[in-house]
Structure 1
Amino acid sequence: MQVQTLRYFLMVATTGSFLATARHFAVPASSVSRFIASLEKELGQQLFYRSTRAVRLTEQGQRYYAQVRQAVELLDGAAEQFDHGANPMHGLVRINAGESLGRLHIANLVNQLQARYPDLLVELSLSNTFVDPVQEGADITVRVGRLVDSGLIGKVVCAQRYVLAASPAYLALHGTPQTPEDLLQHNCLLYKGVHEPQRWHFRHAAEAPYEPLVVSGSLRSNNSEVLINAAIAGRGVVLFPNWLYPPASFQDGRLVWLLADWQMSAYADDIYIQILSPENRLRSQKVRAVSAFLVDAIGTPPYWDALV
Protein backbone atom coordinates (compact mmCIF):
# COMPACT_ATOMS: atom_id res chain seq x y z
CA MET A 1 0.00 0.00 0.00
CA GLN A 2 1.51 3.33 -1.09
CA VAL A 3 1.23 6.50 0.99
CA GLN A 4 0.24 8.40 -2.17
CA THR A 5 -2.77 6.10 -2.54
CA LEU A 6 -3.83 7.09 0.97
CA ARG A 7 -3.46 10.76 0.02
CA TYR A 8 -5.75 10.16 -2.96
CA PHE A 9 -8.24 8.47 -0.64
CA LEU A 10 -8.21 11.37 1.83
CA MET A 11 -8.63 13.95 -0.91
CA VAL A 12 -11.55 12.10 -2.53
CA ALA A 13 -13.18 11.86 0.90
CA THR A 14 -12.67 15.60 1.44
CA THR A 15 -13.78 16.85 -1.98
CA GLY A 16 -16.32 14.16 -2.83
CA SER A 17 -14.86 14.05 -6.31
CA PHE A 18 -12.36 11.91 -8.21
CA LEU A 19 -11.97 14.70 -10.77
CA ALA A 20 -11.16 17.36 -8.17
CA THR A 21 -8.64 15.01 -6.60
CA ALA A 22 -7.03 14.35 -9.98
CA ARG A 23 -6.77 18.08 -10.66
CA HIS A 24 -5.21 18.70 -7.26
CA PHE A 25 -2.52 16.07 -7.76
CA ALA A 26 -2.18 16.78 -11.52
CA VAL A 27 -2.86 13.16 -12.52
CA PRO A 28 -5.52 11.57 -14.73
CA ALA A 29 -8.86 10.89 -13.04
CA SER A 30 -8.59 7.30 -14.21
CA SER A 31 -5.41 6.92 -12.16
CA VAL A 32 -7.15 8.11 -8.99
CA SER A 33 -10.07 5.76 -9.63
CA ARG A 34 -7.69 2.87 -10.25
CA PHE A 35 -5.71 3.51 -7.05
CA ILE A 36 -8.89 3.73 -4.95
CA ALA A 37 -10.26 0.53 -6.48
CA SER A 38 -6.95 -1.19 -5.71
CA LEU A 39 -7.09 0.06 -2.12
CA GLU A 40 -10.64 -1.25 -1.67
CA LYS A 41 -9.61 -4.62 -3.09
CA GLU A 42 -6.59 -4.80 -0.78
CA LEU A 43 -8.72 -3.98 2.27
CA GLY A 44 -11.63 -6.13 1.20
CA GLN A 45 -14.00 -3.24 1.95
CA GLN A 46 -16.01 -0.74 -0.09
CA LEU A 47 -14.81 2.71 1.01
CA PHE A 48 -17.03 4.92 -1.19
CA TYR A 49 -20.58 5.02 -2.48
CA ARG A 50 -20.34 6.19 -6.07
CA SER A 51 -23.09 7.84 -8.10
CA THR A 52 -23.29 10.20 -11.05
CA ARG A 53 -23.84 13.11 -8.65
CA ALA A 54 -21.46 12.49 -5.76
CA VAL A 55 -18.93 10.26 -4.09
CA ARG A 56 -19.30 9.73 -0.34
CA LEU A 57 -17.76 7.52 2.29
CA THR A 58 -19.34 4.26 3.39
CA GLU A 59 -19.52 3.51 7.12
CA GLN A 60 -16.33 1.44 6.77
CA GLY A 61 -14.80 4.30 4.78
CA GLN A 62 -15.56 6.79 7.56
CA ARG A 63 -13.79 4.64 10.14
CA TYR A 64 -10.82 4.12 7.84
CA TYR A 65 -10.67 7.85 7.07
CA ALA A 66 -10.36 8.79 10.76
CA GLN A 67 -7.43 6.42 11.26
CA VAL A 68 -5.65 7.08 7.97
CA ARG A 69 -5.92 10.86 8.27
CA GLN A 70 -4.00 10.88 11.53
CA ALA A 71 -1.35 8.52 10.17
CA VAL A 72 -0.74 10.53 6.98
CA GLU A 73 -0.70 13.80 8.91
CA LEU A 74 2.03 12.40 11.16
CA LEU A 75 4.05 11.29 8.12
CA ASP A 76 3.62 14.61 6.34
CA GLY A 77 4.42 16.53 9.51
CA ALA A 78 7.63 14.58 9.98
CA ALA A 79 8.66 15.19 6.36
CA GLU A 80 7.83 18.88 6.66
CA GLN A 81 10.46 19.31 9.35
CA PHE A 82 13.13 18.62 6.73
CA ASP A 83 11.48 20.48 3.86
CA HIS A 84 13.02 23.85 4.65
CA GLY A 85 13.78 24.82 1.07
CA ALA A 86 10.35 24.20 -0.47
CA ASN A 87 7.20 26.27 -0.10
CA PRO A 88 5.21 24.71 2.78
CA MET A 89 2.02 26.52 1.76
CA HIS A 90 0.51 23.79 -0.36
CA GLY A 91 -1.88 20.93 0.27
CA LEU A 92 -4.97 20.86 2.46
CA VAL A 93 -5.78 22.87 5.60
CA ARG A 94 -9.13 22.43 7.35
CA ILE A 95 -10.70 25.45 9.05
CA ASN A 96 -13.86 25.40 11.15
CA ALA A 97 -15.76 28.53 12.18
CA GLY A 98 -19.15 29.60 13.45
CA GLU A 99 -21.71 30.06 10.69
CA SER A 100 -22.19 33.84 10.85
CA LEU A 101 -18.59 34.80 11.61
CA GLY A 102 -17.41 32.37 8.96
CA ARG A 103 -19.77 33.64 6.27
CA LEU A 104 -19.35 37.35 6.99
CA HIS A 105 -15.62 37.47 7.69
CA ILE A 106 -13.59 34.23 7.65
CA ALA A 107 -14.66 33.31 4.10
CA ASN A 108 -13.29 36.61 2.79
CA LEU A 109 -10.04 36.08 4.71
CA VAL A 110 -9.76 32.63 3.13
CA ASN A 111 -10.08 34.28 -0.30
CA GLN A 112 -7.19 36.58 0.61
CA LEU A 113 -5.21 33.63 1.95
CA GLN A 114 -5.59 31.62 -1.26
CA ALA A 115 -4.79 34.65 -3.40
CA ARG A 116 -1.46 34.81 -1.57
CA TYR A 117 -0.93 31.04 -1.56
CA PRO A 118 -2.57 29.63 -4.72
CA ASP A 119 -1.34 26.08 -4.05
CA LEU A 120 -3.23 25.93 -0.76
CA LEU A 121 -6.44 23.88 -0.64
CA VAL A 122 -8.79 25.07 2.11
CA GLU A 123 -11.72 23.14 3.49
CA LEU A 124 -13.87 25.71 5.34
CA SER A 125 -16.64 24.21 7.48
CA LEU A 126 -19.23 26.49 9.09
CA SER A 127 -21.29 25.28 12.01
CA ASN A 128 -22.92 26.77 15.10
CA THR A 129 -22.70 23.46 16.95
CA PHE A 130 -19.61 22.55 18.96
CA VAL A 131 -17.04 20.79 16.81
CA ASP A 132 -14.29 18.75 18.44
CA PRO A 133 -11.34 19.57 16.16
CA VAL A 134 -9.48 16.43 17.20
CA GLN A 135 -12.36 14.13 16.30
CA GLU A 136 -13.42 16.07 13.20
CA GLY A 137 -9.90 16.64 11.89
CA ALA A 138 -9.99 20.45 11.89
CA ASP A 139 -6.53 22.00 11.72
CA ILE A 140 -7.76 25.43 12.85
CA THR A 141 -10.90 26.36 14.77
CA VAL A 142 -12.16 29.94 14.96
CA ARG A 143 -14.15 29.81 18.18
CA VAL A 144 -16.45 32.39 19.74
CA GLY A 145 -16.99 31.73 23.42
CA ARG A 146 -15.70 31.85 26.96
CA LEU A 147 -12.07 31.20 27.81
CA VAL A 148 -11.94 27.58 28.88
CA ASP A 149 -9.18 24.99 29.14
CA SER A 150 -10.10 22.92 26.10
CA GLY A 151 -6.72 21.33 25.55
CA LEU A 152 -6.35 23.36 22.35
CA ILE A 153 -3.52 25.79 21.71
CA GLY A 154 -3.77 29.14 20.01
CA LYS A 155 -4.42 32.81 20.49
CA VAL A 156 -7.16 35.05 21.80
CA VAL A 157 -7.74 37.46 18.93
CA CYS A 158 -10.06 39.87 20.74
CA ALA A 159 -12.86 40.26 23.22
CA GLN A 160 -16.25 40.32 21.53
CA ARG A 161 -17.73 43.82 21.64
CA TYR A 162 -21.50 44.15 21.65
CA VAL A 163 -23.35 47.14 20.22
CA LEU A 164 -26.91 48.22 21.02
CA ALA A 165 -28.59 49.81 18.00
CA ALA A 166 -31.80 51.15 16.51
CA SER A 167 -32.76 53.18 13.45
CA PRO A 168 -33.22 56.97 13.49
CA ALA A 169 -36.87 56.45 12.48
CA TYR A 170 -37.54 54.22 15.50
CA LEU A 171 -35.83 56.65 17.89
CA ALA A 172 -37.79 59.61 16.45
CA LEU A 173 -41.04 57.82 17.34
CA HIS A 174 -40.09 56.23 20.66
CA GLY A 175 -37.25 58.32 22.07
CA THR A 176 -33.60 57.49 22.72
CA PRO A 177 -32.86 55.37 25.81
CA GLN A 178 -30.46 57.05 28.23
CA THR A 179 -29.96 54.12 30.63
CA PRO A 180 -30.33 50.35 30.32
CA GLU A 181 -33.51 50.50 32.43
CA ASP A 182 -35.08 52.72 29.75
CA LEU A 183 -35.03 49.68 27.46
CA LEU A 184 -37.85 48.15 29.50
CA GLN A 185 -40.09 50.69 27.73
CA HIS A 186 -38.77 49.86 24.26
CA ASN A 187 -39.43 47.20 21.65
CA CYS A 188 -36.37 44.94 21.95
CA LEU A 189 -35.85 42.47 19.11
CA LEU A 190 -34.42 39.30 20.62
CA TYR A 191 -32.24 36.51 19.30
CA LYS A 192 -33.76 33.18 20.32
CA GLY A 193 -31.29 30.35 20.73
CA VAL A 194 -31.95 26.68 21.40
CA HIS A 195 -33.28 27.20 24.92
CA GLU A 196 -34.55 30.75 25.48
CA PRO A 197 -34.43 34.32 24.11
CA GLN A 198 -31.48 36.58 24.76
CA ARG A 199 -31.04 38.20 28.13
CA TRP A 200 -29.18 41.47 27.88
CA HIS A 201 -26.46 42.42 30.36
CA PHE A 202 -24.91 45.81 31.15
CA ARG A 203 -22.09 47.26 33.25
CA HIS A 204 -20.38 50.65 33.55
CA ALA A 205 -16.80 49.43 34.12
CA ALA A 206 -14.77 46.41 33.00
CA GLU A 207 -14.07 45.32 36.58
CA ALA A 208 -17.76 45.38 37.54
CA PRO A 209 -20.04 42.35 37.06
CA TYR A 210 -22.66 42.41 34.35
CA GLU A 211 -26.19 43.10 35.56
CA PRO A 212 -28.96 41.25 33.67
CA LEU A 213 -31.93 43.07 32.20
CA VAL A 214 -35.03 41.14 31.10
CA VAL A 215 -36.28 42.97 28.01
CA SER A 216 -39.04 42.04 25.59
CA GLY A 217 -40.39 42.92 22.20
CA SER A 218 -42.58 41.99 19.26
CA LEU A 219 -40.08 39.92 17.28
CA ARG A 220 -37.83 36.97 18.09
CA SER A 221 -35.72 34.98 15.67
CA ASN A 222 -32.90 32.47 15.59
CA ASN A 223 -31.37 34.44 12.71
CA SER A 224 -29.40 37.59 13.50
CA GLU A 225 -29.85 39.09 10.02
CA VAL A 226 -33.63 38.97 10.36
CA LEU A 227 -33.42 40.99 13.55
CA ILE A 228 -30.82 43.49 12.32
CA ASN A 229 -32.83 44.12 9.14
CA ALA A 230 -35.94 44.63 11.27
CA ALA A 231 -34.03 47.20 13.35
CA ILE A 232 -32.90 48.99 10.18
CA ALA A 233 -36.55 49.02 9.08
CA GLY A 234 -37.48 50.84 12.29
CA ARG A 235 -39.04 47.94 14.17
CA GLY A 236 -37.01 48.12 17.41
CA VAL A 237 -33.70 47.82 19.27
CA VAL A 238 -31.12 45.05 18.81
CA LEU A 239 -28.00 43.91 20.67
CA PHE A 240 -25.35 42.03 18.69
CA PRO A 241 -21.56 41.74 18.32
CA ASN A 242 -20.25 44.60 16.19
CA TRP A 243 -18.93 42.21 13.53
CA LEU A 244 -22.50 41.11 12.74
CA TYR A 245 -23.80 44.50 11.60
CA PRO A 246 -23.72 45.36 7.88
CA PRO A 247 -20.59 47.35 6.94
CA ALA A 248 -21.12 51.12 7.09
CA SER A 249 -24.65 50.79 8.54
CA PHE A 250 -23.67 53.23 11.30
CA GLN A 251 -21.66 55.59 9.08
CA ASP A 252 -24.47 55.92 6.55
CA GLY A 253 -27.05 56.54 9.27
CA ARG A 254 -29.18 53.43 8.91
CA LEU A 255 -28.45 52.58 12.55
CA VAL A 256 -27.56 54.59 15.66
CA TRP A 257 -25.28 53.22 18.38
CA LEU A 258 -27.07 53.46 21.75
CA LEU A 259 -25.68 53.63 25.31
CA ALA A 260 -22.13 53.82 23.97
CA ASP A 261 -20.78 54.62 27.46
CA TRP A 262 -21.94 51.25 28.77
CA GLN A 263 -20.41 47.82 28.28
CA MET A 264 -22.98 45.24 27.24
CA SER A 265 -23.28 41.58 26.36
CA ALA A 266 -25.75 38.81 25.65
CA TYR A 267 -23.96 36.79 28.33
CA ALA A 268 -23.16 37.24 32.00
CA ASP A 269 -19.43 37.16 31.33
CA ASP A 270 -16.95 38.13 28.63
CA ILE A 271 -16.90 36.37 25.27
CA TYR A 272 -13.79 36.09 23.10
CA ILE A 273 -12.85 35.21 19.54
CA GLN A 274 -10.03 32.67 19.52
CA ILE A 275 -8.03 30.86 16.85
CA LEU A 276 -7.17 27.39 18.14
CA SER A 277 -5.58 24.15 16.98
CA PRO A 278 -4.89 20.73 18.47
CA GLU A 279 -1.31 20.52 19.71
CA ASN A 280 -0.30 17.93 17.13
CA ARG A 281 -1.48 20.12 14.22
CA LEU A 282 0.74 23.00 15.33
CA ARG A 283 3.73 20.87 14.43
CA SER A 284 2.81 21.75 10.84
CA GLN A 285 4.50 24.89 9.54
CA LYS A 286 1.54 25.33 7.18
CA VAL A 287 -1.02 25.34 10.00
CA ARG A 288 1.06 27.78 12.03
CA ALA A 289 1.37 30.07 9.00
CA VAL A 290 -2.36 30.01 8.25
CA SER A 291 -3.18 30.71 11.91
CA ALA A 292 -0.77 33.65 11.92
CA PHE A 293 -2.31 34.96 8.69
CA LEU A 294 -5.82 34.92 10.20
CA VAL A 295 -4.66 36.61 13.40
CA ASP A 296 -2.85 39.35 11.45
CA ALA A 297 -5.70 39.81 8.97
CA ILE A 298 -8.29 40.29 11.74
CA GLY A 299 -5.92 42.58 13.61
CA THR A 300 -5.76 43.96 17.14
CA PRO A 301 -8.17 45.64 17.58
CA PRO A 302 -10.14 43.72 14.94
CA TYR A 303 -10.72 45.51 11.66
CA TRP A 304 -14.50 45.43 12.13
CA ASP A 305 -14.20 47.82 15.08
CA ALA A 306 -13.64 50.54 12.48
CA LEU A 307 -17.01 49.73 10.91
CA VAL A 308 -18.99 50.68 14.02
Structure 2
Amino acid sequence: MTAPTGTDPRRYILSEHAFSAPALEPALYIVSTPIGNLGDITVRALETLAGAAVIACEDTRVTGTLTHRFGLKTPLIPYHEHNADKQRPKILETLERGEAVALVSDAGTPLISDPGYRLVRDVVAAGHKVVPIPGASALLAGLVGAGLPSDTVLFAGFLPQKGGPKTRRIEELAKMPATLVFYESPRRLGATLATMAEVMGADREASVARELTKRFETFERGTLGSLAEHFSGDAPKGEIVILIAPPEDAPEADESDAEALLIEALKEMPVSAAAKKVAKQTGLDRNELYKRALDLKASSAD
Protein backbone atom coordinates (compact mmCIF):
# COMPACT_ATOMS: atom_id res chain seq x y z
CA MET A 1 0.00 0.00 0.00
CA THR A 2 1.27 3.45 -0.85
CA ALA A 3 0.82 6.74 0.95
CA PRO A 4 -2.04 8.59 -0.77
CA THR A 5 -2.15 12.16 -1.90
CA GLY A 6 -4.84 14.47 -0.60
CA THR A 7 -6.92 14.00 -3.75
CA ASP A 8 -6.44 10.24 -4.15
CA PRO A 9 -9.91 8.79 -4.87
CA ARG A 10 -8.82 5.37 -3.58
CA ARG A 11 -7.88 6.67 -0.15
CA TYR A 12 -9.08 5.19 3.13
CA ILE A 13 -8.16 5.92 6.73
CA LEU A 14 -7.53 3.31 9.41
CA SER A 15 -6.43 4.20 12.95
CA GLU A 16 -5.73 7.74 11.78
CA HIS A 17 -3.33 6.54 9.09
CA ALA A 18 -4.22 7.08 5.43
CA PHE A 19 -3.66 4.39 2.82
CA SER A 20 -4.21 4.07 -0.91
CA ALA A 21 -6.11 1.00 -2.04
CA PRO A 22 -4.79 -1.11 -4.92
CA ALA A 23 -6.62 -0.99 -8.22
CA LEU A 24 -9.48 -3.47 -8.52
CA GLU A 25 -10.22 -5.72 -11.45
CA PRO A 26 -13.67 -5.21 -13.01
CA ALA A 27 -16.20 -7.17 -10.93
CA LEU A 28 -19.16 -6.90 -8.61
CA TYR A 29 -17.80 -7.05 -5.07
CA ILE A 30 -20.22 -8.23 -2.36
CA VAL A 31 -18.83 -6.42 0.68
CA SER A 32 -19.75 -7.26 4.27
CA THR A 33 -19.92 -4.27 6.61
CA PRO A 34 -20.23 -4.06 10.42
CA ILE A 35 -23.56 -4.98 12.04
CA GLY A 36 -23.05 -2.44 14.82
CA ASN A 37 -19.45 -2.08 15.92
CA LEU A 38 -17.54 -0.17 13.23
CA GLY A 39 -14.35 -1.82 14.46
CA ASP A 40 -15.50 -5.02 12.76
CA ILE A 41 -14.74 -3.66 9.29
CA THR A 42 -11.98 -5.66 7.57
CA VAL A 43 -8.95 -4.19 5.81
CA ARG A 44 -9.97 -6.00 2.64
CA ALA A 45 -13.44 -4.43 2.83
CA LEU A 46 -11.90 -0.96 3.17
CA GLU A 47 -9.58 -1.57 0.25
CA THR A 48 -12.52 -2.75 -1.86
CA LEU A 49 -14.81 0.14 -0.95
CA ALA A 50 -12.00 2.62 -1.58
CA GLY A 51 -10.97 1.05 -4.87
CA ALA A 52 -14.44 0.64 -6.41
CA ALA A 53 -15.81 3.10 -8.94
CA VAL A 54 -19.10 3.23 -7.05
CA ILE A 55 -20.71 1.76 -3.93
CA ALA A 56 -24.29 0.51 -4.35
CA CYS A 57 -26.05 0.62 -0.98
CA GLU A 58 -29.51 0.30 0.57
CA ASP A 59 -29.48 3.74 2.19
CA THR A 60 -26.83 6.32 1.32
CA ARG A 61 -27.26 7.96 4.73
CA VAL A 62 -26.47 4.75 6.60
CA THR A 63 -23.52 3.83 4.40
CA GLY A 64 -22.42 7.47 4.45
CA THR A 65 -21.73 7.13 8.18
CA LEU A 66 -19.36 4.26 7.42
CA THR A 67 -17.61 5.98 4.51
CA HIS A 68 -17.16 9.19 6.52
CA ARG A 69 -15.71 7.24 9.46
CA PHE A 70 -12.99 5.75 7.26
CA GLY A 71 -12.40 8.70 4.95
CA LEU A 72 -13.76 6.98 1.84
CA LYS A 73 -14.42 9.18 -1.19
CA THR A 74 -16.12 6.58 -3.41
CA PRO A 75 -19.50 7.80 -4.79
CA LEU A 76 -22.61 6.18 -3.31
CA ILE A 77 -25.70 5.19 -5.27
CA PRO A 78 -28.93 3.82 -3.76
CA TYR A 79 -29.75 0.22 -4.66
CA HIS A 80 -32.70 -1.45 -2.93
CA GLU A 81 -35.81 -3.46 -3.75
CA HIS A 82 -37.83 -0.38 -4.72
CA ASN A 83 -35.38 0.95 -7.36
CA ALA A 84 -33.58 -2.24 -8.35
CA ASP A 85 -35.15 -2.48 -11.81
CA LYS A 86 -33.98 1.05 -12.59
CA GLN A 87 -30.51 0.82 -11.05
CA ARG A 88 -29.54 -2.67 -12.16
CA PRO A 89 -28.91 -1.67 -15.82
CA LYS A 90 -26.73 1.24 -14.63
CA ILE A 91 -24.61 -1.11 -12.54
CA LEU A 92 -24.23 -3.46 -15.49
CA GLU A 93 -23.16 -0.51 -17.65
CA THR A 94 -20.48 0.38 -15.10
CA LEU A 95 -19.17 -3.17 -15.24
CA GLU A 96 -19.23 -3.11 -19.04
CA ARG A 97 -16.93 -0.06 -18.90
CA GLY A 98 -14.39 -2.17 -17.05
CA GLU A 99 -14.98 -0.62 -13.63
CA ALA A 100 -15.52 -2.23 -10.23
CA VAL A 101 -18.79 -1.97 -8.28
CA ALA A 102 -19.11 -2.65 -4.55
CA LEU A 103 -22.47 -3.79 -3.17
CA VAL A 104 -23.23 -3.31 0.55
CA SER A 105 -26.29 -3.60 2.75
CA ASP A 106 -27.08 -1.32 5.68
CA ALA A 107 -25.31 -3.77 7.97
CA GLY A 108 -23.73 -7.20 7.73
CA THR A 109 -23.40 -9.42 4.70
CA PRO A 110 -25.43 -8.48 1.60
CA LEU A 111 -27.89 -11.00 0.13
CA ILE A 112 -28.54 -12.60 3.56
CA SER A 113 -32.32 -12.20 3.89
CA ASP A 114 -32.47 -9.52 1.17
CA PRO A 115 -33.20 -9.64 -2.59
CA GLY A 116 -29.70 -8.72 -3.81
CA TYR A 117 -29.28 -12.16 -5.37
CA ARG A 118 -31.11 -10.88 -8.46
CA LEU A 119 -28.28 -8.45 -9.16
CA VAL A 120 -25.70 -11.22 -8.73
CA ARG A 121 -27.67 -13.44 -11.08
CA ASP A 122 -27.83 -10.75 -13.77
CA VAL A 123 -24.16 -9.86 -13.37
CA VAL A 124 -23.16 -13.50 -13.81
CA ALA A 125 -25.49 -13.85 -16.81
CA ALA A 126 -23.80 -10.85 -18.42
CA GLY A 127 -20.43 -12.55 -18.10
CA HIS A 128 -18.98 -10.48 -15.26
CA LYS A 129 -17.12 -11.68 -12.20
CA VAL A 130 -18.62 -11.67 -8.70
CA VAL A 131 -16.24 -11.47 -5.73
CA PRO A 132 -17.43 -12.00 -2.11
CA ILE A 133 -15.66 -9.96 0.58
CA PRO A 134 -16.66 -11.77 3.79
CA GLY A 135 -17.09 -10.19 7.18
CA ALA A 136 -19.68 -9.46 9.85
CA SER A 137 -22.98 -11.36 9.89
CA ALA A 138 -25.67 -11.44 12.59
CA LEU A 139 -26.41 -15.04 11.58
CA LEU A 140 -22.87 -16.22 12.38
CA ALA A 141 -22.35 -13.97 15.40
CA GLY A 142 -25.56 -15.25 16.95
CA LEU A 143 -24.72 -18.87 16.16
CA VAL A 144 -21.25 -18.91 17.71
CA GLY A 145 -22.47 -17.19 20.89
CA ALA A 146 -25.64 -19.19 21.44
CA GLY A 147 -24.07 -22.37 22.77
CA LEU A 148 -26.18 -24.55 20.48
CA PRO A 149 -25.05 -27.27 18.05
CA SER A 150 -23.48 -25.73 14.95
CA ASP A 151 -22.65 -28.78 12.84
CA THR A 152 -25.95 -28.53 10.94
CA VAL A 153 -27.69 -25.17 10.68
CA LEU A 154 -30.78 -23.96 8.85
CA PHE A 155 -31.16 -20.21 8.37
CA ALA A 156 -34.88 -19.43 8.04
CA GLY A 157 -34.66 -15.62 7.84
CA PHE A 158 -37.80 -13.69 8.74
CA LEU A 159 -41.03 -15.55 9.43
CA PRO A 160 -44.37 -14.44 7.93
CA GLN A 161 -45.93 -11.68 10.01
CA LYS A 162 -49.50 -13.03 10.08
CA GLY A 163 -50.45 -15.69 12.59
CA GLY A 164 -51.66 -18.49 10.32
CA PRO A 165 -48.78 -18.46 7.82
CA LYS A 166 -46.30 -17.96 10.66
CA THR A 167 -47.60 -20.99 12.57
CA ARG A 168 -47.56 -23.16 9.44
CA ARG A 169 -43.97 -22.16 8.67
CA ILE A 170 -42.85 -22.99 12.20
CA GLU A 171 -44.61 -26.36 11.93
CA GLU A 172 -42.75 -27.05 8.67
CA LEU A 173 -39.40 -26.35 10.32
CA ALA A 174 -40.05 -27.91 13.73
CA LYS A 175 -38.72 -31.37 12.90
CA MET A 176 -35.66 -30.28 10.92
CA PRO A 177 -32.59 -31.99 12.41
CA ALA A 178 -30.65 -28.71 12.60
CA THR A 179 -30.19 -25.63 14.74
CA LEU A 180 -32.72 -23.13 13.39
CA VAL A 181 -31.83 -19.44 13.03
CA PHE A 182 -34.41 -16.68 12.56
CA TYR A 183 -34.35 -12.90 12.32
CA GLU A 184 -37.24 -11.18 14.08
CA SER A 185 -38.59 -7.73 14.83
CA PRO A 186 -38.38 -6.72 18.52
CA ARG A 187 -42.09 -5.88 18.64
CA ARG A 188 -43.04 -9.37 17.41
CA LEU A 189 -40.49 -11.27 19.51
CA GLY A 190 -42.73 -12.21 22.45
CA ALA A 191 -45.60 -13.48 20.29
CA THR A 192 -43.22 -15.39 17.99
CA LEU A 193 -41.51 -17.15 20.91
CA ALA A 194 -44.92 -18.08 22.37
CA THR A 195 -45.95 -19.65 19.05
CA MET A 196 -42.62 -21.48 18.79
CA ALA A 197 -43.05 -22.85 22.31
CA GLU A 198 -46.56 -24.04 21.50
CA VAL A 199 -45.60 -25.69 18.21
CA MET A 200 -42.09 -26.99 18.97
CA GLY A 201 -42.47 -27.63 22.68
CA ALA A 202 -41.83 -25.35 25.65
CA ASP A 203 -38.82 -27.43 26.77
CA ARG A 204 -36.85 -27.05 23.55
CA GLU A 205 -33.50 -25.33 24.08
CA ALA A 206 -33.10 -21.92 22.48
CA SER A 207 -31.30 -18.58 22.63
CA VAL A 208 -32.20 -14.98 21.78
CA ALA A 209 -29.32 -12.70 20.71
CA ARG A 210 -29.89 -8.95 20.79
CA GLU A 211 -27.85 -5.92 19.71
CA LEU A 212 -24.97 -8.10 18.48
CA THR A 213 -21.53 -6.41 18.54
CA LYS A 214 -23.03 -3.27 20.13
CA ARG A 215 -22.65 -1.85 23.63
CA PHE A 216 -25.75 -3.57 25.01
CA GLU A 217 -25.24 -6.95 23.35
CA THR A 218 -27.07 -9.71 25.21
CA PHE A 219 -27.68 -13.45 24.91
CA GLU A 220 -30.71 -14.85 26.70
CA ARG A 221 -30.41 -18.63 26.86
CA GLY A 222 -32.97 -21.14 28.09
CA THR A 223 -35.99 -22.98 26.74
CA LEU A 224 -38.61 -21.67 24.34
CA GLY A 225 -41.06 -21.59 27.23
CA SER A 226 -38.80 -19.59 29.54
CA LEU A 227 -37.78 -17.21 26.76
CA ALA A 228 -41.40 -16.66 25.73
CA GLU A 229 -42.19 -15.72 29.33
CA HIS A 230 -39.10 -13.49 29.61
CA PHE A 231 -40.02 -11.49 26.50
CA SER A 232 -43.77 -11.42 27.10
CA GLY A 233 -43.74 -7.81 28.32
CA ASP A 234 -42.57 -4.66 26.61
CA ALA A 235 -40.69 -5.15 23.35
CA PRO A 236 -36.90 -5.00 23.71
CA LYS A 237 -34.79 -2.65 21.63
CA GLY A 238 -32.39 -3.64 18.88
CA GLU A 239 -32.01 -6.27 16.20
CA ILE A 240 -33.00 -9.81 17.20
CA VAL A 241 -31.69 -13.27 16.27
CA ILE A 242 -33.59 -16.34 17.53
CA LEU A 243 -31.72 -19.66 17.63
CA ILE A 244 -33.40 -22.99 18.40
CA ALA A 245 -31.65 -26.30 19.08
CA PRO A 246 -32.42 -29.36 16.95
CA PRO A 247 -35.29 -31.53 18.19
CA GLU A 248 -34.44 -34.46 20.40
CA ASP A 249 -34.86 -37.85 18.79
CA ALA A 250 -38.38 -39.00 19.62
CA PRO A 251 -39.19 -42.69 20.00
CA GLU A 252 -40.92 -44.08 16.98
CA ALA A 253 -44.67 -44.44 17.39
CA ASP A 254 -46.71 -47.00 15.51
CA GLU A 255 -50.21 -46.48 14.13
CA SER A 256 -51.91 -48.20 17.06
CA ASP A 257 -50.17 -45.86 19.53
CA ALA A 258 -51.26 -42.84 17.52
CA GLU A 259 -54.83 -44.06 17.23
CA ALA A 260 -55.10 -44.67 20.97
CA LEU A 261 -53.74 -41.21 21.69
CA LEU A 262 -56.13 -39.65 19.18
CA ILE A 263 -59.12 -41.41 20.75
CA GLU A 264 -58.17 -40.05 24.18
CA ALA A 265 -57.49 -36.55 22.86
CA LEU A 266 -60.80 -36.41 20.96
CA LYS A 267 -62.65 -36.88 24.23
CA GLU A 268 -61.41 -33.48 25.40
CA MET A 269 -60.77 -31.35 22.32
CA PRO A 270 -61.70 -30.76 18.67
CA VAL A 271 -60.11 -32.64 15.77
CA SER A 272 -57.49 -30.03 14.89
CA ALA A 273 -56.27 -29.67 18.46
CA ALA A 274 -56.19 -33.44 18.93
CA ALA A 275 -54.09 -33.94 15.80
CA LYS A 276 -51.72 -31.20 16.94
CA LYS A 277 -51.32 -32.70 20.40
CA VAL A 278 -50.66 -36.21 19.12
CA ALA A 279 -48.20 -34.91 16.52
CA LYS A 280 -46.16 -33.42 19.36
CA GLN A 281 -46.37 -36.64 21.35
CA THR A 282 -45.40 -38.98 18.53
CA GLY A 283 -43.51 -36.96 15.96
CA LEU A 284 -45.92 -38.20 13.29
CA ASP A 285 -47.20 -35.95 10.51
CA ARG A 286 -49.91 -33.61 11.76
CA ASN A 287 -51.87 -33.60 8.49
CA GLU A 288 -52.03 -37.39 8.42
CA LEU A 289 -53.11 -37.44 12.05
CA TYR A 290 -55.79 -34.86 11.28
CA LYS A 291 -57.24 -37.10 8.54
CA ARG A 292 -57.15 -40.08 10.91
CA ALA A 293 -58.85 -38.04 13.64
CA LEU A 294 -61.62 -37.05 11.21
CA ASP A 295 -62.18 -40.73 10.41
CA LEU A 296 -62.30 -41.60 14.11
CA LYS A 297 -64.70 -38.77 14.79
CA ALA A 298 -66.97 -39.89 11.96
CA SER A 299 -66.84 -43.52 13.12
CA SER A 300 -67.79 -42.60 16.68
CA ALA A 301 -70.77 -40.60 15.38
CA ASP A 302 -72.21 -43.56 13.44
Larger Rg over CA atoms: 2
Q: Which has the higher contact order (CA 8 A, sep 6+)?
A: 1
Fold conserved between structures, TM > 0.5? no
- TM-score if structure 1 supplies the norm length? 0.27
